[in-house]
Amino acid sequence: MKKVSLSLLMMGALVSGGATQASDEPLIIGTNNWAENIAVANMWKILLEEEHGYDIELSNVGKSMLYSGLASGDIDLSMEIWLPTTDASFLEPHRDSIDVHDIWYQGAGLGLVVPSYVEIDTIDELAEQADRYQYQGQAAILGIDPGSAIAGMTEKAIEAYELPMNQINSSGPAVMAAMDSAYRRGEPVVVTLWSPHWAFAEYDLKYLEDPQGVYGDNEDLYWMARGGLDEEDPWLTSLLNAWHMDDDSLGGLMAEIEEAGDPEDGARAWIEDNRGLIDEWFEGADHAEG
């Protein structure tokens, strides 16, 4: 088992406030391909590296590897866990080895999403009109990678609602490209999607009502870390606990990245325009440490 010997000791306040990283080892942030995860991971990489002297490595891994990596110490932290339902099954085997910290976004959601111009409003109605939602010659729901929580929930929804459809899994960008193509032609399409996501600002979309509650109620987003990181770097823990975003701030960050076509470029532009909000997070960390 790799033990990341960060020994992130407080080095005293810098002019800008905060700490520097004492170890030669990088701080490894585990990421996945969800749009908001990419956005906030790159935002924190820039803030911690360029303004506070950390060496940050982003490691893009599958969900199962993310949790096992945190539990073993190969990954130091991750910016996103959905609770109480969506990611609970990934956390459960490692509950004693992973520290779940504070909420940074409240009221997230996920489920089956269609353009607002289609006439159905519920998953029950999708079952009745499934043959209209064609992709490559078959009635289909377009979804992200099969190892994701939302893919598993969608398989349960297909069974619970007796949907005569298959889930076709691919990457998030591929799903959005297929949805964009259908949207521009005004054709029916159904995809798995979640909030927050930049697509809701770009397109007029709606969730299909889920009377059976397969996708659960609203979730909250927390950040999490390997055991012991908070003791090694209490300033970083205080900083991330002070971090909060809402639909406007997170949606704006994702929109900047989508427009720039590059996560770091987009995140850097957003940082320049939102210094007041960012200063509140750092002030919160300094106050907690003081």
172: domain CATH number is: 3.40.190.100
97 lies in the same domain as 232: yes
162 lies in the same domain as 230: no
Q: Residue 259 and residue 248: Cα distance in Å, rounded?
A: 16
Residue where a domain terminates, one of 184, 207, 230: 207
| Range of the structural domain that residue 239 is part of | 27-107+220-289
237 lies in the same domain as 277: yes
65 lies in the same domain as 116: no
| Residue 289 tokens, joined | 């440490």
Question: How large is the greatest C-alpha to C-alpha distance in the chain, in angstroms?
Answer: 64
SS3 251: helix
pTM of the complete model: 0.79
Q: What is the pLDDT along the chain (290 residues), one digit of tens a residue?
A: 333 333 333 333 333 445 555 456 899 999 988 889 999 999 999 999 999 999 999 999 988 999 999 999 999 999 999 999 889 999 999 999 999 999 999 999 899 999 999 999 999 999 999 999 999 999 999 999 888 889 999 999 999 999 999 999 998 889 999 999 999 999 999 999 998 888 888 899 999 999 999 998 789 999 999 999 999 999 999 999 999 999 889 989 998 998 999 999 999 999 999 999 999 999 988 766 65
Contact criterion met (CB below 8 Å) for 91 and 180: no
Element (H, E) at 101: strand 98-115
Amino acid at 255: A
Contact criterion met (CB below 8 Å) for 172 and 33: yes
Helix locations, the chain, DSSP H:
35-52, 63-72, 88-91, 123-128, 149-160, 172-185, 199-202, 229-232, 234-242, 247-260, 263-273, 275-289
82 lies in the same domain as 203: no
